[in-house]
Amino acid sequence: MSNPPVYYFDSNATTRIAPEVVESMLPLWTDDWGNPSSAYTFGHRVAASLDTARSQVAALINADPQEVIFTSCGTEASNAALQSALATQPGKRHLVMSAVEHSANLKLGQLLEKRGCEVTLLPVDSLGELDVHELAESVRPDTALVSVMTANNETGVIFPIEEIAALCRSKGVLFHTDAVQAPGKLKLDVRAWGVDFLSLSAHKLHAPKGIGILYARRGVPFSPLVVGGGQERGRRAGTENTGYIVGFGRAAQLAQQSLEADVPRIRALRDRLESGIFSRITGVTRNGAVEPRLPNTSNLSFSACEAEAILLLLDRAGICASSGSACTTGSLAPSHVLTAMGRTPAQALGSVRFSLSKYTTDAEVDFLLAKLPAMIDTLRGSSPAA
């Protein structure tokens, strides 16, 4: 029996793996399964595939291939950047990050505080935007690193990375950006931006889960998080996840080739979804700035409704969406992002994120627009707050 259809609006949680990516990975398990560090030709062949993938991912962010370090995921990449900045600057124990970072950064910050570091969390305004002057004022002589995400995973709000990087450079402070939500949606350019570190995760880009990169600018002091063998030029030990690295490379190449065609189409679908919801359902407000915002993301609060109940009804119709960050789904605590933006707990708990991808179709948007109004009516009819 085939599975029922899935209407997928959760591409900020993870993305469909591109068939071209699957195809690129298979030979690494069937034929070229050698160890890339081996001295014989069979190993060299795998090493050559990794070189190609490294160049493909580097091209996506305009880096030199040698500046790309493969990691197990985006979380590891961000952990490596933060810990490296502290390890290479032993006199500096202060970190600055936004209050709306992913838990990959925030939870590490909390752990580091227990180990004697100090973390300044920068507030955002009601649109989810940062005050760069406040950021400038928060930097101290003992600041080891500033870490601000390229775009927020819940609201899609984009931060002024080039401006923040320039500011950090002028103050002599290292800068890391968690760009996990950006590729395939935004043009990335580490050289033009002038960042020291940047994290990516392949599964947000139509490649498998469990592979990421840390970009570390040439010349930036680096201390590895994972030590052992000499892989990744001694910057990340452990035999490489060869198939996934090759898949990541292919996904990066596809994203780069089709960015200009994909983005306007995704944006138009997202805007049609958003305006369709506004025109069909009352009591809906958008969370986050309209622009600059990722072209695929819409985060909406439905008054007098609980997101968990909306998600349950959506799920029954085969529609996937999420409330807050996917990593915190299952917990009923209001989203830290929406809370930081000044939303009340009720508003935050009534918020649903719809996130699209290049595979989202008009028919999927039509289906969601046809189903959602009646679901909200049902919930409001049964909600004591209605």
Return the active site residues: 327
Helix (H), strand (E), coil (C) string for 144-210? EEEECCCECCCCCEECCHHHHHHHHHHHCCEEEEECCCCCCCCCCCHHHHCCCEEEEEHHHCCCCCC
Residue with the shortest CB distance to ligand PLP: 74
Q: State which of residues 84, 147, 153, 301 lies at the interface with ligand PLP (CB under 6 A).
A: 153
Structural contact between residues 269 and 356, judged by C-beta atoms closer than 8 angstroms: yes
Helix (H), strand (E), coil (C) string for 158-174? ECCHHHHHHHHHHHCCE
Q: State which of residues 15, 75, 84, 347 lies at the interface with ligand PLP (CB under 6 A).
A: 75
Q: Which segment (37-45, 176-184, 260-268, 274-282) binds ligand PLP by CB under 6 A?
A: 176-184
Q: 3: exposed, middle or buried (C-beta count within 10 Å: 0-12, 13-18, 19+)?
A: exposed
> Binding of ligand PLP at residue 326 (CB under 6 A)?
yes
Q: State which of residues 212, 249, 295, 334 lies at the interface with ligand PLP (CB under 6 A).
A: 212
Residue closer to ligand PLP by CB (options 75, 351) is 75
> Binding of ligand PLP at residue 287 (CB under 6 A)?
no
Q: Which segment (175-183, 245-253, 359-367, 370-378) binds ligand PLP by CB under 6 A?
A: 175-183
Residue closer to ligand PLP by CB (options 85, 375) is 85
> Binding of ligand PLP at residue 102 (CB under 6 A)?
yes
Going along the chain, which residue ranges are E strands?
A: 7-8, 68-71, 94-98, 118-122, 143-147, 174-178, 197-201, 212-216, 284-286, 297-302, 319-320, 351-355
Name, in order, each residue with C-beta under 8 angstroms of 80's C-beta and a sequence gap of 6 or more: 69, 71, 214, 224, 225, 226, 236
Residue 140's SS3 state is coil
> Binding of ligand PLP at residue 73 (CB under 6 A)?
yes
> Binding of ligand PLP at residue 327 (CB under 6 A)?
yes
Residue closer to ligand PLP by CB (options 202, 375) is 202
Residue closer to ligand PLP by CB (options 71, 120) is 71
Residue closer to ligand PLP by CB (options 54, 92) is 54
Q: What stretch of H or E contains 50?
A: helix 41-61
> Binding of ligand PLP at residue 180 (CB under 6 A)?
yes
Q: State which of residues 36, 74, 208, 247 lies at the interface with ligand PLP (CB under 6 A).
A: 74
Q: Which segment (173-181, 189-197, 248-256, 359-367) binds ligand PLP by CB under 6 A?
A: 173-181
Q: How many CB atoms lie within 10 A of CB 309?
A: 17
Residue closer to ligand PLP by CB (options 120, 325) is 325
Structural contact between residues 247 and 24, judged by C-beta atoms closer than 8 angstroms: yes
Kindly list the residues in this chain that would bind ligand PLP in the complex (CB under 6 A).
73-75, 102, 104, 149, 153, 178, 180-181, 201, 212, 326-327
